[in-house]
């Protein structure tokens, strides 16, 4: 079935179009993004259970963007009567005038932005899904999550709790200007199993997740996640600390994705180029990685949690080749940054929700596959670690530093896994050094979309990342 577009948004379209006309009397460019996204989040553990209709992306509201004399302004609001658009127009104009007056009082100069183009575009996109979150049988879902939690407590050792979560969101977004009418709807879902265990005073969490641009039908896969989460928890309890130093590493696809995202993805968000906050701007056309490294970014790259048809500024989704055989080809760009840099936007203008500003943000950030097998890669390592599971990462585009906190490392000596495990593993380094050290790339590839991505320490959006296994050299601590 198709994920149907929001009837509420369809209903307010005439009122919004009238709002655009009213605001257009004062501003040469006016757009409105309106959203109506519903979903649920269920979390079941032995110790507490919760159900909410709020996920990271559930929302209903609108944001108007206006441009005049080089200045860009926005108003976010969630009270709108489609039969009285003039009331909203008056309120918005009054707010913007009040801000303009205050800015005049403090003599604030403006960073001038060229006029925002408004070429005609019509989009109607409804993605396929098997089930819709709003039609989910909650009794059945809660029952199956409870079974997984109960079963995990029986199967696992040293268990404190076993938490199972399931979230699904039906996104509907509408983008209108004088010349554009774009409507999209799709469903994405994510779930996870977390096994909390303790032994000899040490506590650890084994975690396994799944996600995709699919409906709640994906939660049938959580049973498979259980065994992996329990196994990981056991391994973490046996883990030792890594001796700090530089090692040969093999990254599993989840860690490869973390590198793609933190080590490189943030570094080519071109709103950072506008502010001169990213080294990447100086390296376009230059070698920054091994010839084995090719990386893509774009909502069209994979059917993940962020596989939309157009972004939050009404730009169609793209597929950008960021690195081609080690050469930095392109960054990704939102509309306003593109105007300032004189390039084309890439469909990466995203907002946390309608209440937030749009920034250049990642969608799917993926390394391309190579031609090695994981077995060949392990056999080639004299002393190092196979790194698996991600905890978190942090970008540093200005200095191209990386911080990746990885769940665990499996020791490799003389081409064989020894059974020794280290945890947690902090991988740091200089991005071109790390990517330049890639010597093997595996044939398979996986995409991960659990969790969210912040810009600095805020502005959380859904992203996905991944790739194959990589063999490289890195500093671990």
Partner 1 sequence: MTVEEIIGLLRSCGADAWEITQTTEETWEFYFIRRRLDQNRVRSVEHIRVKVYRKSPDGQYLGSAQGEIYPTSSPEEAEKNIRTLLRSASYVKNPVYTLRKPEESASDPENGPIPSPSSVAEDFIRAVNQVPESASEDINSWELFVTSGQRRFLNSEGIDKTENTTSSALEIVLNARDASHEIELYRMYQSGTCDAETLVRDITETLAIGKNKLTARPTPALRKADVLFSNAAVLPVYEYFTDRMNAAFIVQGISDWKKDDPIAQARYDTITVSAVKTLPNSSANHAFDPEGAPTRDLVLIERNIPKNFYGNRQFSEYLSLSDSFQAENFRFEGGSETEESIRKGDYLEVLEFSDFQVSPLNGDIAGEIRLALWHCGGEVIPVSGGSVSGTMTDFVRTMRMSRALRHSDNYVIPAFTRLQGVTVTGAEAE
Give residues 384-403 in contact with partner 1 (rule: CB under 8 A): 392-396, 398-399, 401-403
Binders of partner 1 among residues 343 to 382 (CB under 8 A) are 355, 357
Cα gap 356→428, rounded to integer Å: 31
103 is a site residue for partner 1 (CB under 8 A)? yes
Span from 71-79, 119-127, 182-190, 373-381 in contact with partner 1 (CB under 8 A): 71-79
Binders of partner 1 among residues 199 to 218 (CB under 8 A) are 201-205
Whole-number minimum distance, CB 12 to partner 1, in Å?
8
Whole-number minimum distance, CB 337 to partner 1, in Å?
10
104 is a site residue for partner 1 (CB under 8 A)? no
Residues 406 and 371: beta-carbon distance below 8 Å? no
CA–CA distances in Å: residue 105 to residues 97, 99, 287: 12, 10, 48
Whole-number minimum distance, CB 459 to partner 1, in Å?
10
Nearer to partner 1, 39 or 449 (CB): 39
Secondary structure of residue 433 in the 3-state scheme: helix
Binders of partner 1 among residues 252 to 311 (CB under 8 A) are 274-277
Binders of partner 1 among residues 451 to 470 (CB under 8 A) are 456-458
Biggest CA-to-CA distance, the chain: 74
Residue from 244, 291, 418, 444 binding partner 1 (CB under 8 A): 244
User: For the purposes of burial, counting CB atoms within 10 Å of the CB of 36, is it exposed (0-12), middle (13-18) or buried (19 or more)?
Assistant: buried
Nearer to partner 1, 196 or 299 (CB): 196
CA angle 118, 123, 126 (to 5 degrees): 150
Nearer to partner 1, 58 or 290 (CB): 58
110 is a site residue for partner 1 (CB under 8 A)? yes
Q: Under rule CB under 8 A, how many of the chain's residues touch partner 1? A: 85
Nearer to partner 1, 222 or 320 (CB): 222
CA angle 71, 330, 70 (to 5 degrees): 10
Whole-number minimum distance, CB 92 to partner 1, in Å?
8
Nearer to partner 1, 100 or 238 (CB): 100
Whole-number minimum distance, CB 112 to partner 1, in Å?
8
18 is a site residue for partner 1 (CB under 8 A)? no
Binders of partner 1 among residues 145 to 174 (CB under 8 A) are 160-161
Whole-number minimum distance, CB 120 to partner 1, in Å?
25
Cα gap 198→178, rounded to integer Å: 60
Span from 21-29, 66-74, 376-384, 443-451 in contact with partner 1 (CB under 8 A): 66-74
Other C-beta atoms lying within 10 Å of the C-beta of residue 135: 10
Helix or strand run (H / E) with residue 155: helix 138-155
Residue from 104, 106, 382, 414 binding partner 1 (CB under 8 A): 106
User: For the purposes of burial, counting CB atoms within 10 Å of the CB of 150, is it exposed (0-12), middle (13-18) or buried (19 or more)?
Assistant: middle
Preceding peptide of 189 cis, ω within 30°:
no
Cα gap 239→424, rounded to integer Å: 8
Cα gap 265→257, rounded to integer Å: 10
Nearer to partner 1, 212 or 280 (CB): 280
419 is a site residue for partner 1 (CB under 8 A)? no
Nearer to partner 1, 1 or 98 (CB): 98
Residue from 14, 21, 28, 52 binding partner 1 (CB under 8 A): 52
Whole-number minimum distance, CB 196 to partner 1, in Å?
6
Whole-number minimum distance, CB 141 to partner 1, in Å?
9
CA–CA distances in Å: residue 34 to residues 72, 312, 441: 18, 9, 42
Nearer to partner 1, 53 or 375 (CB): 53
Residues 282 and 299: beta-carbon distance below 8 Å? no
Helix or strand run (H / E) with residue 21: helix 7-24
342 is a site residue for partner 1 (CB under 8 A)? no
198 is a site residue for partner 1 (CB under 8 A)? yes
- 394-428 exposure pattern, b = at least 16 Cβ within 10 A, e = fewer: ebbbeebbbebbbbbbbbbeeeeeeeebbbbbebb
């Amino acid at each position: 079935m198709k994920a149907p577009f929001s009837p509420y948004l369809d209903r307010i379209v005439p009122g919004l179009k009238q709002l655009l006309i009213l605001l257009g009397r004062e501003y040469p460019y006016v757009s409105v993004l309106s959203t109506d996204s519903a979903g649920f989040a269920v979390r079941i553990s032995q110790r507490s259970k919760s159900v909410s209709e709020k996920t990271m992306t559930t929302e209903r509201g609108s944001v108007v963007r206006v441009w005049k004399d080089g200045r860009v302004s926005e108003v976010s609001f969630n009270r709108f009567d489609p039969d009285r658009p003039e009331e909203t127009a008056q309120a918005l104009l009054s707010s913007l005038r009040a801000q303009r007056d205050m800015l005049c009082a403090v003599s604030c100069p403006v960073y001038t932005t060229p006029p925002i183009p408004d070429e005609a575009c019509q989009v109607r996109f409804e993605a396929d899904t098997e089930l819709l979150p709003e039609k989910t049988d909650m009794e059945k879902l809660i029952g199956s999550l409870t079974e997984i939690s109960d079963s995990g407590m029986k199967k696992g050792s040293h268990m404190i709790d076993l938490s199972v979560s399931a979230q699904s969101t039906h996104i509907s977004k509408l983008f209108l200007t004088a010349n554009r009418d774009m409507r999209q709807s799709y469903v994405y879902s994510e779930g996870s199993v977390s096994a909390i265990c303790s032994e000899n005073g040490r506590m650890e969490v084994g975690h396994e997740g799944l996600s995709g641009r699919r409906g709640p039908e994906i939660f049938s896969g959580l049973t498979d996640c259980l065994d992996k989460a329990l196994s990981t928890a056991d391994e973490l309890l046996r883990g030792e600390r890594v001796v700090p130093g530089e090692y040969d590493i093999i990254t599993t696809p989840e860690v490869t994705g973390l590198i793609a995202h933190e080590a490189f993805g943030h570094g080519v968000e071109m709103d950072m180029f506008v502010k001169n906050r990213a080294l990447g701007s100086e390296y376009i056309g230059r070698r920054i990685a091994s010839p084995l490294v090719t990386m893509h970014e774009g909502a069209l790259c994979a059917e993940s949690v962020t596989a939309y048809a157009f972004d939050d500024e009404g730009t169609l989704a793209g597929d950008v080749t960021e690195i081609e055989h080690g050469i930095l080809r392109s960054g990704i760009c939102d509309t306003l940054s593109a105007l300032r840099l004189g390039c084309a936007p890439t469909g990466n203008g995203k907002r946390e929700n309608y209440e937030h500003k749009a920034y250049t943000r990642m969608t799917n950030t993926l390394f391309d596959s190579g031609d090695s097998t994981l077995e060949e890669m392990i056999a080639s390592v004299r002393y190092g670690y196979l790194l698996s599971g991600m905890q978190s990462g942090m970008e540093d585009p200005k200095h191209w530093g990386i911080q990746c906190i990885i769940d665990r490392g499996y020791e490799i000596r003389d081409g064989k896994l020894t059974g020794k495990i280290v945890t947690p593993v902090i991988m740091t380094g200089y991005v071109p050094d790390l990517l330049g050290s890639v010597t093997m790339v595996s044939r398979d590839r996986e995409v991960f979309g659990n969790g969210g991505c912040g810009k600095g320490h805020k502005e959380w959006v859904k992203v996905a990342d991944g790739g194959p296994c990589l063999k490289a050299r890195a500093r671990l601590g």
